[in-house]
Structure 1
Amino acid sequence: MNWGGCSTACIEQGDFSGLDDLYTEKPEVVDGLAEVFGSWITRFKFDGFRIDTARHVDKDFYNRWIPQILAAAKSAGIDDFEIFGETWITEPIEQSKYQRVWGLPNQLDFPLFDVIARYAGGTQGAGGVMLRLEDDDYSRMSDGRAPTPGTFIGNHDTGRTAMMIKAQSGAEGDELLARVNLGHSLLYLLRGAPVIYYGDEFGMIGIGGDKEARHDLFATQVSAWQTQERVGSAPIGAGSSFDVKNHPVGQHLRELAALRKQWPVLWRGATLPRDRNDGAMAISRFDMADQREYVTIFNNSTESRLLEFATSTPSATFTAVWGGVESTNSDADGFVSVEVPPLSAAILRAEAKFPLAKQPPVVSAAPDDFSELWLLSAETSESPQEVSFLIDNGTGWRRVAVDDSFPYRAFVDPNALPTGSTSRIVAVSRFADGTLVPSGIATFTNTK
């Protein structure tokens, strides 16, 4: 496999670093792999699989293999078996095809990894993070699940979180610790499932990826590792990391985990990027069950920043429930002002429920400007809601996707529709009280 210029066929069929490629085009190979890995689930009751090098099979493999794996999990009494793949692609639209077309249920979020490391390091503003969150719409599927990719900053291939952030910022000492904690705050306070690489909780930095990022946690005999710099503490020397108590990075991670447990909106709530100002940003999260708005706030600057933005909850107190910001009040139009301390993160919680403006959506279709897909859009009220998009191309109505935040969108692969065929589309808004409000029916012709 030529990593410098590998074609699609090379990626799917090439020998990976000397490992022979499996003939996954053959049904007996697929069935054999399903039998082997299904038996692991039966015997050991795994909760899920992380699929390494997930794009190095033929594109039909997952649509044949995964149903057998999920059936094995269900037979073993595991109804919510998780599968996510390692597809090392930092372009979100390109990565999304492995879910839309290939059939992977979930992926590691390499596009967000790329921008979070830069943001926490201070070399990229908030716009990159906010745009990446908006790109989630490309990964919304007909099952209605909100995107919950595995989010991370460092790993065994790229190098550790602290090393990635230090490479961006050149920071040392207290500033590096603050930036590492900011990076982890992004992982835990944004959508997705945070993945922390072992040793990060003890401040390990490392000097590279692969073998340079596989330090011992026990007392090490590798002299270079004994003297390597750590963030938040001195080099380990001849000691064991397991003897390190209350490391500041580990403490911060425990605090963030407790926040996600206390406020489920942080892991299940809809996401709406609000405002950014020179390194600071505000992102609303919506708890539809409680009809409550939360705002997560971040600042990667070494100076305080002022954010002024609209919320969905007018004339309400927004209480600071975590972090260094002050509580604030929204005006009659929902606008708030927040002073954000340097290198920090915070959470605000509205003390009033957001209002429900139950306006019928208006649905339309157009070619997407950034891909080969058809873009379905719904214009509706600013009230938080979930919008389901459905299509009928003559074979009955089927759901395309569910979008839970503005802009409300879904994407249709033109290859799934006959060229020249006309399809009907409709959008249905679901509000926090369960009310369903449909649009009228629109049509479009597949000219692609």
Structure 2
Amino acid sequence: MKLAGTSKFPTTSQLSAKITFPKTPVVSKAMANIKSPAWLNDVRLYHNRGKSTFQGESGRFGDFYGFDDIMTESPEVVKGFIDIYSKWISTTGIDGFRIDTARHVNELFWQAFIPSIKAQALASGKKDFPMWGEVYDSSPETLEYWARYGGFTELLDFPVQDRMLKFIISGAANQLATLLNSDDQYSTATVDPRNFGIFLGNHDMGRIGGFIGGNVNSDSALLRDQMAHVLLFTMRGVPIVYYGDEFGLMGDGDKEARQDLFVTLVDRWRKQQRIGGEPIGMGKSSFDTTNPLQQTIRDLTKLHSSSTAFSAGAMKIRIAENGLLVFSRFDLDTGKEYLMTFNSSDAAITGSFDSEYLENKWEKVLGDGTVSASTKSMKFTVPACGWGVFLSEMVKSSVTPEVRMNKPARNPMFRDRFNLEATISGADVAEVQFQYKDGATWKSLGTDTSPTFKSDLDAAGLYRVFPLISDIKWSTNTEFRAVAYFANRIEAKSETFLFAKP
């Protein structure tokens, strides 16, 4: 692996199909030259380790369910795949990629591949070209590793999927809220968790309908499915709807989650119940049916596209406890605040929270329930298995907003990074970018758009990033600062701190 991606890595002329590999590759004459481009037919460009056990190095080098594992450490393979994907962009106009099994490929491959493909996309006139890497693990530490060391600027957010599901099914709001504190671990100059893909289910794990299960004809199942999609479209991240969820399909697990939408000959699919609908039966396709979830998703698509608060705005969690989740999304350019209320319990909830920055007039945009604000307090009601989206103007502070950065400190848990933290005053929320001075130029180390939610590990109201020591071009004493961007285009800078290389 030390030679991976370097000019010292053995070329195909230095490898022997008969003696180099743990297993000798065997290909019939009929199959010897069927792959295109032609270099893919060279068996010396594969690992030839046999079936993967999905443990240890076999998870990196073994064959997945019979798929030959190509040697992505080879510069020939790196160049070959860059050429293939670049051609797809230039000839088909494709807008992005979902990259399967990303964690089972060596990091140096992605570090070369992703910038090259992004450059090709930009040359083809595509400024934004997402490449969501699939890292199938609900641990934020695993996701963080591939964001920092794998070269990915976009990832599929399995930790968020796991915590959203736990909230919808069992009311574990606090788990989702505290998980989002981990966003600070992902944030760098090039990685922004607002660009991560968030989802409710997929072809491997199963569908949201299958997870909800229970009595699929009950109002509760439909309400929970609708609420799950509202959460998907309103919290941070890029919402990804799995095909068929709009028709209430319930496939639970790998193969059952791959049902097509056309007329089916599979008997169990004909008889399968659907959330918000009836079994498809004989001779009908899903496109011949209607389902309440279709309109829900249409409404949410319209909502999401109506304001950058949902695609790029700051987020602040107000309450997360016992089946109740309340948070705000902000459009700092226009000074708009959207308040989201969710209740995944079986009984209506009345609650309140305090804030110095609350407008009195609120408009219901979607959903049910009520909100009413008075001086420094917001009261709300949310029906059982219900939700609401409300809109207001952000309150303009009577004082000038400020940002204060704490003195940089060595990270006590990870020796390869250090801590930058800041707090704000005079405003409810901000986007805070942390910077260091390289010569005469201030350079970004990442932007935090969501203050921490109080947990056993974190105090509330902190904006943070955790730069790698290796990311900095250090001088004897390097300057650091925080720059906060508030509503109505107000900008504030903290005092600067001098910090020597840890």
Equivalent residues in 2 for 1:44-443, closer than 5 Å: 44-121=92-169, 123-143=170-190, 145=192, 147-166=194-213, 173-206=218-251, 208-311=252-355, 313-331=357-375, 333=376, 335-351=377-393, 353-355=395-397, 357-368=400-411, 373-381=417-425, 383=427, 384-392=429-437, 397-406=442-451, 407-416=462-471, 423-443=478-498
Is the partner of 2:339 in helix, strand or coil? strand
Is the Cα contact below 8 Å between 2:431 and 2:447 reproduced in 1? yes
Is the Cα contact below 8 Å between 1:34 and 1:68 reproduced in 2? yes
Shift of 1:365: 2.4
C-alpha distance in structure 2 between counterparts of 1:78 and 1:376, whole Å: 33
**Deviations 1:414-437, CA, capped at 9 Å, x for gaps:** 455699986432112222333332
Shift of 1:152: 0.9
C-alpha distance in structure 1 between counterparts of 2:277 and 2:412, whole Å: 49
Is the partner of 2:402 in helix, strand or coil? coil
C-alpha distance in structure 2 between counterparts of 1:165 and 1:422, whole Å: 55
Query: Any gaps of 5 or more consecutive residues in structure 1?
Result: none
**Deviations 1:21-80, CA, capped at 9 Å, x for gaps:** 222222222111101110011110000011111112111122211122122212222221
Is the Cα contact below 8 Å between 1:361 and 1:428 reproduced in 2? no
2:389 aligned partner, one-letter code? I
- Number of equivalenced pairs: 438
Once the two structures are aligned, what percentage of the paired residues are identical? 32
Shift of 1:11: 3.5
C-alpha distance in structure 2 between counterparts of 1:352 and 1:381, whole Å: 15
Is the Cα contact below 8 Å between 1:199 and 1:217 reproduced in 2? yes
Give the equivalent residue in structure 1 for 2:30: none
Shift of 1:2: 2.2
Shift of 1:288: 0.6
Is the Cα contact below 8 Å between 1:293 and 1:313 reproduced in 2? no
Give the equivalent residue in structure 2 for 1:33: 81
Shift of 1:320: 2.1
Is the Cα contact below 8 Å between 2:402 and 2:493 reproduced in 1? no
C-alpha distance in structure 2 between counterparts of 1:88 and 1:360, whole Å: 37
Query: Aligned-pair RMSD on alpha carbons?
Result: 2.5
Is the partner of 1:33 in helix, strand or coil? helix
C-alpha distance in structure 1 between counterparts of 2:432 and 2:474, whole Å: 27
Shift of 1:188: 0.9
Could you state the TM-score of these two structures normalised by the residue count of structure 2? 0.81
Is the partner of 1:301 in helix, strand or coil? coil
Bigger CA radius of gyration: 2
Shift of 1:16: 2.7
Is the Cα contact below 8 Å between 2:403 and 2:422 reproduced in 1? no
